[in-house]
Structure 1
């Protein structure tokens, strides 16, 4: 039976916070409560994609009435209560719809795909239980658009050993699938699962270094969902549990970076927040510092420089105990980027000086594994970005040129990034011919690198160069750039 699409004659008022639901969460964080919802769903054979963002939307009153899948889960979690007791509106009052009879509701055993709203919809229930559109659009942090692939990846995490994962092909993302285990229930997990998770993090980072984020993001969301399912499955040893928490958090950051680099800032923010929550639940200072580090970088790119400064300073507070001068150097650079965004030249210069001094202390065994990208080239590249933000184009160009020259050839994406930075700084600094030559190098690199960040920078450079078509090489660059396929 198709559900009615008749809406109320009166427009809905502003959402009212769901205080009853908030009280039921108690002292648990949104991420912890979301994990409890997913566990309860599995207990009754449901499939929901609950995350901290969904919990926040419920508590904010944006979801007045959950869909049938969530309704069954919530009533299972809180037996004896009704939807009204949980702070929701009655189904009949939402958008003027009549109440459904039990015969109208989808059966509880139906397999239902997950959608970008963070809810699992019933078969006859289009987006009719929410009052506001999803601010994250079609790219939910925990969803892909290929549910069959998601199932394969999820089962791979739960059934494959670390050795199998490491040896498997890269399709999809190097995770193997044991078809005989497709119907096997989730078991207690162990060290082999932690190995598999850590290997997936390394593999995603390697692919990003070589090829950029755009082609990876959708595939990487499914392993992330599988990683958090592992945390819910039960672990016998505390050391394994700690490794799983750390691995899941690092994977959330890696997937967040893929979202960040491909221009999905809202998705990236959600992933980084999930990693931060995981760090705090497990008391993992290294993971917390990493989450704050990436959050600072994202805030700078998203035009929130004051937030970037605060996040970088928070990362430095928690990172001091880790004993890594190189980590503290990178965090000082993140702070410098925030000060540059605030046009605070003094604050930026002070943070840059700290970053340089800390970098010169050298490497140590305490340096995190994820910092393999941070060498002299990255130091120069991030300083170039600071001077560019402050409008000192000649100084920015000097550092960007040095960054591109110093970068290890393995990091194709970073070479493209630094060269794009150089092209933009040269263009804005009144050197259009040199800018066009650098831009041509970036166009060559885009054959193997897919990065919306790089493409966005190059598009900005092209706009700056258009009035200088008569300069040597500029017209050729603009024509070649104009022939690039437009990304969605």
Structure 2
């Protein structure tokens, strides 16, 4: 594949001198977008080493190259975005400590870029990981901190940050806070316009409904979650196999917790089929959760 064999913009730069201009920043920004979209259809096992290598090359460049202040902000922004992507992919692969390190180093880069919103996205991403594999109360505090630190966030970015608060709240069992924040999620998304960071391209109504459904399952309302999940899953193309596998696993859990075990087994089988096309530790963990419910 092209993205595995093509030379990164940073590697090309190291062969051509240490003065960095706006053209390299533009190339790097395009490369980050390319890698981010590849995460939709390429497994973390394949993509993680590519992103980690390019992140290391970019970090080396910003430490040793010379550039103007405006170019520097763009370069550090790219480092922050690459760090978020590296952390996300590492977390999907079950490499949680490495993911945390990527997220926190990304916050430092975002600070250098004077991009508080990007810094909030990185902290929010870390909170999501902690909610899933750590202490949900710590995750909720970190997610709320990210929201407070990004007062200038655009509507869709604020939607994303609030979703992480809702999920952490659900994981703590705080139903009142979860429903309140999910209302804020809807309100924020309705205010969306045409100007948003590229890194929220994937957040749409279906994703919002999936998160709402997941929160409902966590808070003991599986029957209310099922229609939201079913409708959202129907919008995903099959090549987005990891997301389809994950979301079908939640659909299977909604059936299992509602007592419809035949439907749960069928949904789990479908989830496993998609999961085999794009392996993920996150997916495998979800399958185990549903299997335990079905074996009780």
Normalising by structure 2, we get a TM-score of 0.91
Cα separation, 1, equivalents of 2:13 and 2:150:
42
Cα separation, 2, equivalents of 1:375 and 1:182:
37
Aligned-pair CA distance for 1:422: 0.7
Count residues with an aligned counterpart. Answer: 296
What does 1:184-223 correspond to in 2, within 5 Å?
Answer: 184=15, 187-223=18-54
The answer to whether residue 4 in structure 2 is matched with residue 175 in structure 1 is no
The answer to whether residue 121 in structure 2 is matched with residue 290 in structure 1 is yes
Cα separation, 1, equivalents of 2:277 and 2:227:
26
For the Cα contact (< 8 Å) 1:208–1:413, is it kept in 2? no
Aligned-pair CA distance for 1:429: 2.3
Cα separation, 1, equivalents of 2:273 and 2:213:
22
Q: Deviations over 1:66-98 (max 9, x none)?
A: xxxxxxxxxxxxxxxxxxxxxxxxxxxxxxxxx
The answer to whether residue 219 in structure 2 is matched with residue 390 in structure 1 is yes
The answer to whether residue 160 in structure 2 is matched with residue 330 in structure 1 is yes
Correspondence for 1:433? 262
Cα separation, 2, equivalents of 1:178 and 1:439:
43
In structure 1, stretches of 5+ residues that fail to align are 1-167, 468-488
Correspondence for 1:368? 197
**Bigger radius of gyration:** 1
Q: Which has the higher helix share?
A: 2
Residue 258 of structure 1 aligns to a residue whose secondary structure is: helix
Cα separation, 2, equivalents of 1:309 and 1:218:
30
| CA separation of 1:201 and 1:183: change in aligned 2, threshold 3 A | closer
Aligned-pair CA distance for 1:309: 1.7
The answer to whether residue 183 in structure 2 is matched with residue 353 in structure 1 is yes
Residue 334 of structure 1 aligns to a residue whose secondary structure is: helix
For the Cα contact (< 8 Å) 1:250–1:287, is it kept in 2? yes
Residue 149 of structure 2 aligns to a residue whose secondary structure is: helix
Correspondence for 1:339? 169
The answer to whether residue 254 in structure 2 is matched with residue 422 in structure 1 is no
For the Cα contact (< 8 Å) 2:8–2:54, is it kept in 1? no
Cα separation, 1, equivalents of 2:25 and 2:241:
29
| CA separation of 1:389 and 1:462: change in aligned 2, threshold 3 A | same
Residue 2 of structure 2 aligns to a residue whose secondary structure is: coil
Aligned-pair CA distance for 1:408: 5.0
For the Cα contact (< 8 Å) 2:106–2:122, is it kept in 1? yes
| CA separation of 1:246 and 1:420: change in aligned 2, threshold 3 A | same
Cα separation, 2, equivalents of 1:457 and 1:248:
31
Aligned-pair CA distance for 1:375: 0.3
Cα separation, 2, equivalents of 1:206 and 1:175:
18
What does 1:439-458 correspond to in 2, within 5 Å?
Answer: 439-458=268-287
Cα separation, 2, equivalents of 1:211 and 1:235:
34
Correspondence for 1:311? 142
For the Cα contact (< 8 Å) 1:424–1:458, is it kept in 2? no
Aligned-pair CA distance for 1:410: 5.6
RMSD of aligned Cα (Å): 2.4
